Amino acid sequence: MKKNSEQSAALRFAMKLFILLIPFIALLAVYFLNDPFMVLKRYERYDKSPVLLNEGYAGWQMYMNNRDSITFDSFIMGNSCTMAYQCHEWEKYLDGGRAVRLFGNDESLAAICRKLQALDENGAEIKNLLLILDKESLSKDQIQNSYNYVLPPAVSGMSNFSFQEKFCQAFFFPGFLFPYLDYKMFHQYRPYMKGVINPYDAIKDPVTNDAINPREKMIQDEGEQYWETHKKEFQKTSDSNYRNGKYREDAQVLWEAQTALLQKIECICQLHKTSVKVIISPNYNQININPADIEILKNIFEEKNVFDFSGVNEYTNDIHNYYEKGHYRPILGAQLLQKVYGGQ
């Protein structure tokens, strides 16, 4: 009798445990069936998901999908400000080179270096390299490992299990799970979904990974009214010197670790006889990159290959060059490419 009672108790416990686990099992099924981060298998396109993807992973997969049919030999690297540089515009200056954008949101020098090493290890020709940098990207000497920044295993060397684990865990975080399930059920974007759900249609070219920014359509439709409607995105009330037309400079960010990464990048470029151009983005806040950092960049990549557009200048003075204070438009990117290559 005692044995039967123990078995009955164990069975009841198992049933209760199973009932408790049903929501988790159901959510796990949703994750594996829907693959919200598009990491569980390879896709032909990475521009159809409602979820804001890991751009470093998506860009690398797009490159791998197309590299056998398109001989990419030119690479745009850096953070999200690379959206201002369209591959077809850059290719005008490349003597037949084919370009692809391999960027990452909040990209670090360490990630750029590792991507170049992976390209080299995969036998890619690196004929041209366009580096789009700013103070933040120059300062970062470590690869970020959160799910939205982690590099693909083929680049980072991380095990596929560890890579997949990050995304599966992120799916169950309330900050992602609730907006995602809400959108899946009602197909309606709400403000609290910012950073999780893409409120627009396709935002990238499926081959070159060029940005397709919906704000260009807004500007086309609204004209001058766009900058009036979005003026709050350009304001900064905490700094009394914000865009006052006077010279200001940031603190130095290039130290031993960052300089070593830049030298590794240059070594890979030397190996491939790569034509490198370094562009320091024209930041809307008009603060100059520290001159010591510029000097280090010029010593590594040569003065003729480093172009600093930060600070107060004709490009940063014009608000029409910007979507908001963090990102500038392809209309400005085209002007900067002309400035960089026009004299050659």
Rounded average pLDDT over 91-109: 94
Residue matched to tokens 């990464």: 261
Backbone angles phi, psi at 94, to 5 degrees: -110, 10
Write out the residue range of the structural domain in which residue 292 sits.
55-146+203-234+245-341
What CA–CA distance (Å, rounded) separates 204 from 208?
Answer: 8
For residue 156, being part of any structural domain is answered with: no
Do 12 and 109 share a domain, yes or no? Answer: no
Answer yes or no: do 217 and 81 share one domain: yes
Residue 120 near residue 271 (C-beta atoms within 8 A): yes
Instruction: Please indicate, yes or no, whether residues 136 and 18 belong to a single structural domain of this protein.
Output: no
Whole-angstrom distance, CA of residue 220 vs CA of residue 217: 5
Sequence-separated (6 or more) residues with CB below 8 Å from residue 48: 202
- pLDDT category at 95 given cuts 50, 70, 90 is confident
Q: How many domains does the chain have?
A: 2
pLDDT tens track for 64-83: 999 999 999 999 999 999 99
Convert the pLDDT of each residue in 216-273 to its tens digit.
999 999 999 999 999 999 987 677 778 989 999 999 999 999 999 999 999 999 999 9
Q: How many CA atoms lie within 13 A of 198 on its CB side?
A: 20
Residue 238: the pLDDT is: 73
Residues 212 and 107 in one domain: yes
What is the pLDDT at residue 9? Answer: 60
Residue 164 lies in a domain: no
